Structure 1
Amino acid sequence: MHKTGTREEWLTARLELLKAEKDLTRQSDELARRRRELPWVAIEKDYRFDTHAGPATLADLFAGRSQLLVYHFMFGPDYAAGCPSCSAIADGFSGSVVHLANHDVTLCAVSRAPLPKLQAYKRRMGWSFPWASSSASDFNYDFNTTHTPEEWASGTVDYNYRAMEATPENPALAEIAALSGVDWPTYRQEGPGMSAFILEDGVVYHTYSTYERGVDALWGMYPWLDRAPLGRNETGFWWRRHDEYAS
């Protein structure tokens, strides 16, 4: 029973909303500027990855470019398939990766699952972006996207720049875990996020990381839903991997 009105009434309301949208755009530009002004932190640990081209360092993941964007994809060693939410986000990567590559930016996903498992899932999803396994390094732990069972058992973990309390399992979370082929305690060892790096004079620097709602902007369907008549209109876990919908 949404209100209706005339075109003139709609235009008056739309122009008022436009002012707020422009204010938000300016705020977003300012936030982007402040992200760029964060101090760079040199990476001192020798992280190692498995890639389609063989063993690689963090510097190798740049693939000859000066900037690297990493999506921390929730796919633990025991997962049977990638996290459905991360999979929905990653559906938008293949279309962007070529444009970023031609703007001196490499986009790469990183997960702890072994490389053959990542490659098989990548083929299933029809994705073309690079994906590296960090199974042999502390990369995920150091960037706070993997937490041990012992950390969770302590009651809190360090995630999104705060001590986050362990939450009990609920039906929606249990369903997501089951769709990844694991139970909830195993599923929650991984967390989503993205990190940015720059390579200058042979040194890799960490420049930015974000987690939780911070990755919403990378989730391609949500900016569309935010402009749809009914918005996100969510009552729970509704999305699936793109090959799992009924039609």
Structure 2
Amino acid sequence: MVNRIAASFDGALPLPRVADRAEWLTERASLLEREKAHTRAGDAIASARRRLPVTPVGPATVVGEDGPVPFAEIFEGRRMLIAYTFMWNHGQPFDAQCMGCTFSASQLPTQTYLSQRDVTLAMLCEGPWSEISAYREFMGWTHPWYSTSAALHNPAVAGEKYLRCYLRDGQDVYLTYEVTDRGTEVMDPILGLLDRTIYGRQEQWEDSPPGWPQGPAGEWWRRDGRPVAQWERPKNQKQHSAEGVDR
């Protein structure tokens, strides 16, 4: 299917200025200095992040594949936990679930390398276990998921669209970092790759040259009424609503 944003330009996308290789190398070298400064600034921010104080999480119970468990158990024996709080539309079918969270969850790395640094990666969600586990199975995701529906009183565990980091000391758990909105883009390597292309993300908020293809932010995460990642699932695979009725 043709990309709707590109199609609006009838295939005649604008081209940037053409330069010979010598001029291109000069301008590329100038931009490279800015990119290096950006990298060093990011290193300095990461250094400050490692020096943040921590705050106790307190008692919390979540529900996973093995039923209710204390929050400390989802570390799977490791010292650190990275968790994303997936937005859930209660009682809604799969195609009505958050396209942004689905976009991010579909890009998560495997556990393999994180394990080498004593880190577990998990998804938290305020939806009931019966609903979120069905969606996880439908999407073919392998990371552990947990329902936080019994922990909504705990602000360090509950909520939606947060990326959080935790530290475990025995059974004591501490929140070490929390971010939301564009701060979660570290989960989305696709965006970083697009940022390096000539047309970028093709979204209206971007500062691009006149005539560059652009559309509403995040519009391309959904196609024909479904999150794009769902198009990778078998078309004949059944979806279920909250009531368990086949769709």
Counterpart amino acid of residue 225 in structure 1: L
Q: Which residue of 2 aligns with 1:221?
A: 190
Q: Which residue of 2 aligns with 1:102?
A: 116
Counterpart amino acid of residue 69 in structure 2: A
**1:80-119, aligned counterparts within 5 Å?**
80-81=93-94, 82-93=97-108, 95-119=109-133
User: Closer, same or farther in 2 for the Cα pair 1:99/1:231, shift >3 Å?
Assistant: same
2:85 equivalent to 1:72: yes
**Separation of aligned partners in 2, 1:145 and 1:62:** 17
**Separation of aligned partners in 2, 1:76 and 1:197:** 26
Q: Tell whether the 8 Å contact from 2:57 to 2:157 is kept in structure 1 after alignment.
A: no
2:120 equivalent to 1:129: no
Q: Tell whether the 8 Å contact from 2:126 to 2:158 is kept in structure 1 after alignment.
A: no
**1:185-224, aligned counterparts within 5 Å?**
191-224=160-193
Mind listing any 5+ residue stretches in structure 1 that lack a counterpart? 147-190
**Separation of aligned partners in 1, 2:92 and 2:169:** 36
Name the SS of the counterpart of 1:195 in structure 2. Answer: strand
**Separation of aligned partners in 1, 2:175 and 2:135:** 28
Name the SS of the counterpart of 1:229 in structure 2. Answer: coil
Q: Which residue of 1 aligns with 2:155?
A: 142
Q: Which residue of 1 aligns with 2:70?
A: 57
Q: Tell whether the 8 Å contact from 1:73 to 1:192 is kept in structure 2 after alignment.
A: yes
1:96 CA displacement: 3.1
Counterpart amino acid of residue 195 in structure 2: D
Name the SS of the counterpart of 2:114 in structure 1. Answer: helix
User: Closer, same or farther in 2 for the Cα pair 1:118/1:144, shift >3 Å?
Assistant: closer
**Separation of aligned partners in 1, 2:98 and 2:112:** 24
Deviations 1:93-144 (A, max 9, x none): 2x332221232100110001111211211121111111100111226x6149
Q: Tell whether the 8 Å contact from 1:42 to 1:204 is kept in structure 2 after alignment.
A: yes
**Separation of aligned partners in 2, 1:54 and 1:115:** 9
Name the SS of the counterpart of 1:206 in structure 2. Answer: strand
Tell me how large the CA RMSD over aligned residues is.
1.8
Counterpart amino acid of residue 222 in structure 1: L
TM-score (structure 2 length as normaliser)? 0.75
**Separation of aligned partners in 2, 1:238 and 1:90:** 16
User: Closer, same or farther in 2 for the Cα pair 1:145/1:13, shift >3 Å?
Assistant: farther
Mind listing any 5+ residue stretches in structure 2 that lack a counterpart? 1-14, 204-214, 233-247
Q: Which residue of 1 aligns with 2:242?
A: none
Count how many residue pairs are aligned between Structure 1 and Structure 2. Answer: 198
Instruction: Find 1:238's aligned residue among 217, 220, 235.
Output: 220
**Separation of aligned partners in 2, 1:52 and 1:111:** 13
Counterpart amino acid of residue 124 in structure 1: F
**1:22-33, aligned counterparts within 5 Å?**
22-33=36-47
Bigger Rg over Cα: 2
Q: Which residue of 2 aligns with 1:150?
A: none
**Separation of aligned partners in 1, 2:49 and 2:92:** 33
TM-score (structure 1 length as normaliser)? 0.75
**Separation of aligned partners in 1, 2:187 and 2:197:** 18
Name the SS of the counterpart of 2:179 in structure 1. Answer: strand
Name the SS of the counterpart of 2:173 in structure 1. Answer: strand
**Separation of aligned partners in 1, 2:148 and 2:163:** 14
Of all paired residues, the percent bearing the same amino acid is 31
**Separation of aligned partners in 1, 2:158 and 2:57:** 17
Name the SS of the counterpart of 1:72 in structure 2. Answer: strand
Q: Tell whether the 8 Å contact from 2:156 to 2:175 is kept in structure 1 after alignment.
A: no
**1:174-193, aligned counterparts within 5 Å?**
191-193=160-162
